[in-house]
A and B are shown apart, each in its own frame.
Chain A
Amino acid sequence: MSEPLIPQFDDDTDDGERMLAIICSKGNLDMAYPGLILGNAALGEGVNTHLFFTFWGFDMIVKSRMNNLQFSPAGNTALHLPMKDMRLPQAFAPAMTGPATSMLKKQLAELDIPEVPDFLDQIVAAGGHLWACRLSADMGKLGESDLRDDVEGIISASDFIEMTKGAQLLFI
């Protein structure tokens, strides 16, 4: 009798463990999600994952801002109206930030995609690491007390590059 067929999870060795570094540089609601979704997926595959928040992406970890990220259709010609394939005329787009944000949040909630702060909670619970950019903190006159408590440190770009040696890297 042959051995049973068992899935190979390839997780029994720490040699050459995969590491993923995600640089989150955007603070628009729609651009917060790619890093969160990919980071969460990587953690679920046993990949050591570090997220670095810089420039506009800093808002994702600033306590007073993280609940209120906005989505603007301005400059985004791929924004379609509920009628399939109908585009929102760009001339109207700048006035649509409020309703567009509400609609995006509703669509995400329907799929049980968490809001940004909850999503970061889940990422940290799954073993992900959060880092804040020193320059962004200095420019915004923000300190550790302004950030989520689970941000592990405010570090320089060099620190992050050094820490993620050998990692696969995503810039968002």
Chain B
Amino acid sequence: MPTTIMNGREIPVDAEGFLTDPSAWDEDLATVLAANIGIELTDEHWKVLRFLREDYATQGETATTRRVQSVGGVPTKTQFQLFPKKPAKKMAYIAGLPKPRGCV
């Protein structure tokens, strides 16, 4: 399994660079992951990221943009503003989770 060095640690990732072990993630690392893709985290970003982490812990799956709206309470439009163009994948990447597998 490939790994990459971030924040002075060796982090297991897949071929694209998504974390493969959610437990390797912490909030400091999220800041590094966000900076990697040009995003500076604000409180609004953190609301999404914390929802994704909590939802993954109970559901075992990464929430889709639909779920982040309907369960997490963050409107679709806001998600696109916070994580431009590809919100589902960017949110998952920064939250240290796999890409969502749901279609909607």
Contact = CB atoms under 8 A, between A and B. Distances in A.
Interface of A: 1-2, 4-9, 11-12, 37, 40-41, 44-46, 111-114, 119, 122, 125-127
A125 B76 CA distance: 6
Given A6-B37, A126-B76, A112 B104 contact: yes
Interface of B: 2, 4-6, 13, 16-18, 36-38, 65-67, 69-70, 75-77, 80, 84-90, 93, 103-104
Nearest to B15: A5
13 contacts: A4-B4, A4-B6, A5-B2, A6-B37, A7-B16, A7-B93, A9-B86, A12-B38, A46-B84, A114-B66, A119-B104, A122-B66, A125-B76
B76 A122 contact: yes
A6 B69 CA distance: 27
Contacts of B65: 44, 126
Contacts of B104: 37, 40-41, 111-114, 119
B1 to A, nearest CB: 12
Contact of A7 (B37, B38, B84, B85): B37
Given A37-B103, A111-B104, A127 B16 contact: no
A126 B78 CA distance: 9
A45 B86 contact: yes
A41 B103 contact: yes
A103 B65 CA distance: 25
Contacts of A111: 104
Contacts of B69: 122
9 interchain residue pairs of minimum CB distance: A46-B85, A125-B76, A5-B17, A5-B4, A125-B77, A11-B85, A7-B17, A7-B16, A6-B36
